[in-house]
Amino acid sequence: MNCVFCAIADGQLPAHIVHEDEHFLVLLDIFPLRPAHLLIVAKGHAPLLADLPPVAREALLALADRVGQALYRSDPGVLGINFLINDGPVANQHVPHLHLHLIPRRTGDLAALCWRILTRFLPLGRKRIEARLQREAQLLRSALQ
């Protein structure tokens, strides 16, 4: 199997992990739509939400709430969060492994969000984004403690 999230969970690929529990990893998206864009990734390979073991599926929303509260605490500019699961390829799921996006939203950020949707996979400003991810990871780890 060649799954990027399984490789991250197995420690074979690097990631900006901000939290880990028995079922999930919480990490920063390396192609963020907005600053502090997080992913809650199932530790075990589960392509779709229905493939998650029931105990993990039940824990997902509680963890999403906890991580969302940490996003609000870490940045007073965060005034809302988009919670998004793309469940299957037709739903725009790029990696066939269950993951929940938490996309922090700030006042007036719609134009920047639309621009990132169009350009997120281009190598524009990668060094700047990587430096920002380092800072965000540390801030979010603290907020989740």
CATH number of the CATH domain containing 114: 3.30.428.10
Distance CA 89, CA 47 (A): 10
The tokens 């919670």 sit on which residue?
83
The pLDDT value given to residue 73: 95
Boundaries of domain holding 65? 4-144
| Mean pLDDT of the region 24-47 | 97
Q: Report the domain count for the chain.
A: 1
Does the pLDDT at position 120 exceed 70?
Answer: yes
Least confident of 2-6, 95-99, 117-121: 117-121
Q: What is the pLDDT of residues 58-98, one digit of tens each?
A: 999 999 999 999 999 999 999 999 999 999 999 999 999 99
Describe the crossing of helices 54-74 and 126-143 by its angle, rounded to 10 degrees: 100
The closest alpha carbon to 75, from 106, 103, 100, belongs to: 106
The pLDDT value given to residue 125: 85
The pLDDT value given to residue 132: 94
**Residues in contact with 27: Cβ distance below 8 Å, sequence separation at least 6, in sequence order:** 8, 15, 16, 17, 18, 38, 39, 41
The closest alpha carbon to 67, from 43, 103, 98, belongs to: 103
Active site residues: 99
The closest alpha carbon to 100, from 87, 117, 119, belongs to: 87
| Mean pLDDT of the region 103-127 | 92
